[in-house]
Chains A and B, each alone.
Chain A
């Protein structure tokens, strides 16, 4: 039985909108997605799943909630898409309320379960199909929908206006210059080697990360630029709210911007889902097999800089550290070894989590979960006790998280379970540990 407190959570984006739906609209919408937007994968996955339950142990929410069977991935699928298919879309408001909770808050689409399903059923795809249906019904948690609305209206996630954007970059340039004289944030530099793109929350609430990166680029002697216009945001919450049309617009603009700047590659900040959006989901929706310009995640870029000696490490972090493997760059890009190379280069006492690499547990924040906002925070915490245990068992004081969602999610977990650790991005540690060149 799913958590009774969580079942009763009222989210206006979900419940007010369910109240406006008619049975006909529900049925029509579900069947539209089932017949026009899905094909072989849904059919084969539905036909092949033998209800063996081997996926259960893979899910952090199942493990964290004392093996409550309703949190097993297969149960989440049964309580959402199976029923929609079986009842041919004939489902009621109560069903949709429950399905919204499951699809938007209880599954982070991290794909760990597909590594435990003997058939490799893409359960995250099934959950994303549920989200797509919910989006077309207008049933999306309010906070998450707000970020999607922001993407649609401003082409960034946080309602950042262009003057604010440019002003923030100039402010960060000044801050960076105080650390390393001569640091610039070059805007709209045609033909630069690198366009640096970031996620909306950075200029809004974590602006110092932009200065950090400017310092790293300066120290490495990189030829880089950032756009002054829309298209600078590589994040994509529309991808997770099921609004694939907006997702496509955001990704197209991001790549158009990079193309107009004629850069050789795009380096992106420390974010996981943005990588997924820019490299897989976005291009696929747009009908491209791959992005038009190579995309390099910050972890790959830092690795390149340290390995080649373009930046040198002058001192190391002494306190014990551990690292979170973000799903979208480890299970989604295989960056686990490069990540550890960097961590070992800048930290003296690195302690790995168990399990680790592709088998590390999800942060229960990515996949749009944390964006569902305060109504769901406690539920997220209950669903990730296993991450608290993992961190605690390492004995680390610092958790390195090269992903914004992992960062915020683990910060929440540390607070909730009183682990007494702190969380850091790699860029924050790099500017503390690297050798600053003479200006």
Chain B
């Protein structure tokens, strides 16, 4: 079982993840060419100007308006991206599978970062239940997606702490991680891909066409 999930299944996950994102990108660029405004409006200068104001916390009015939410949201997303790539346990696998060696996170730091992701997921779920304007537009799928993101981090953490049988937890961890990766291109998690483009488009439109700022 472990052989399968850590071998072919992981390949399926990576191929599905990158292939899915590529498919989304190519088909959407083709669609964008049909629009009169999208591609001619895109401006590297104004797109980047806007992006820079949104990838740094507190650089814009919106992120400054909710300091607590901003901190959690930024911490969550940074840990979400960095931890899986630079976890020591994963680094070993990168080397074994692809011969890639790179820097990895100290164990304690990785633990904290994983907890940040877990806490972040729970925070988003609670916020979705408690804040009326968010609850009002929440669908069952929003909760499922939070679970899809939470699962690999929670199971990975449990496996690492060896609170439950290690081998079983690792298998569950890999399976949930695969589900997560495969879900990204086909669900609202695709904002991972589109964030930069939607923001850059709005920044371009505000900057180059409307001579104003969008942050």
| Interface positions of A from 105 to 133, Cβ below 8 Å from B | 114-116, 118-122
Chain B residues in the interface with A (C-beta under 8 A): 28-29, 31-32, 34-38, 40, 50, 54, 60-62, 65-66, 128, 131-139, 142, 188, 190-191, 194-195, 197-199, 201-203, 205-206, 209-215
Contact pattern, A 321-333, Cβ under 8 Å of B = 1, otherwise 0 = 0000000001111
The answer to whether A120 and B213 touch across the interface, beta carbons within 8 angstroms, is: no
Nearest residue (CB) in A for B29 is A40
How many angstroms between the C-alpha atoms of A438 and B191 in the bound complex? 64
Known contacts A118-B195, A119-B199, A120-B203, A69 near B54 by CB under 8 Å: no
Contact B134 A51 (CB under 8 A): yes
A44 touching B198 in the complex, CB below 8 Å, given contacts A69-B136, A74-B137: yes
* 12 other A-B residue contacts (CB within 8 Å) besides A44-B194, A51-B142, A67-B133: A39-B35, A40-B28, A47-B188, A75-B133, A115-B60, A116-B61, A118-B199, A119-B195, A119-B198, A120-B203, A122-B201, A359-B61
B-contact 0/1 string along A359-389, CB 8 Å cutoff: 1000000000000000000000000000000
Please determine whether B136 and A48 come into contact, CB atoms closer than 8 angstroms. no
B214 contact set on A, CB distance < 8 A: 114-115, 120, 358
Contact: B62 with A118, CB < 8 Å? yes
The 9 A-B residue pairs whose C-beta atoms are closest, nearest first, are A120-B202, A334-B211, A69-B136, A40-B32, A53-B134, A40-B31, A56-B133, A334-B212, A39-B34
Q: How far is the CA of A273 from the CA of B40 in the complex (A)?
A: 23
**CB < 8 Å A-B pair total:** 128
- Can you give 12 A-B contacts (C-beta < 8 A)? A47-B194, A48-B195, A50-B188, A120-B54, A120-B202, A121-B202, A122-B202, A289-B40, A333-B211, A333-B212, A334-B210, A358-B214
- Chain B residues near A289: list those with CB within 8 A: 40
Do residues A330 and B212 form an inter-chain contact, with CB atoms below 8 A?
yes
Interface size counted on chain A using CB atoms at 8 A: 45
Determine the distance from Cα of A151 to Cα of B70 in the docked complex, in whole angstroms.
Answer: 47
Complex CA–CA separation, A43 to B128 (angstroms) = 24
In the complex where A50-B191, A120-B198 touch, is A67 in contact with B31 (Cβ < 8 A)?
no
CB of A123 to closest CB in B, whole Å: 10
Say whether A268 faces chain B, with CB atoms less than 8 Å apart.
no
Known: A41-B38, A69-B132. A51 touches B211 (CB 8 A): no
With A40-B31, A119-B199, A120-B201 already in contact, the answer to whether A48 and B190 are too (CB < 8 A) is yes
A43: chain B residues within 8 A (beta carbon): 28, 31
By a CB distance below 8 angstroms, the chain B residues around A44 are 28, 194, 197-198
Is the pair A284, B36 in contact by a Cβ cutoff of 8 Å?
A: yes
Counting CB contacts under 8 A, is A57 at the interface?
A: yes
List the A residue with the shortest CB-CB distance to B34.
Answer: A39
Q: Which B residues are CB-close (under 8 A) to A332?
A: 210, 212
Would you call B209 and A72 a contact (CB within 8 A)?
A: no
Q: How far is the CA of A119 from the CA of B55 in the complex (A)?
A: 11
Docked complex Cα distance between A52 and B29 (Å):
26
A45 within 8 A of B: yes
Which chain A residues border B132 with CB–CB below 8 Å? Answer: 67, 69
Would you call B34 and A119 a contact (CB within 8 A)? no
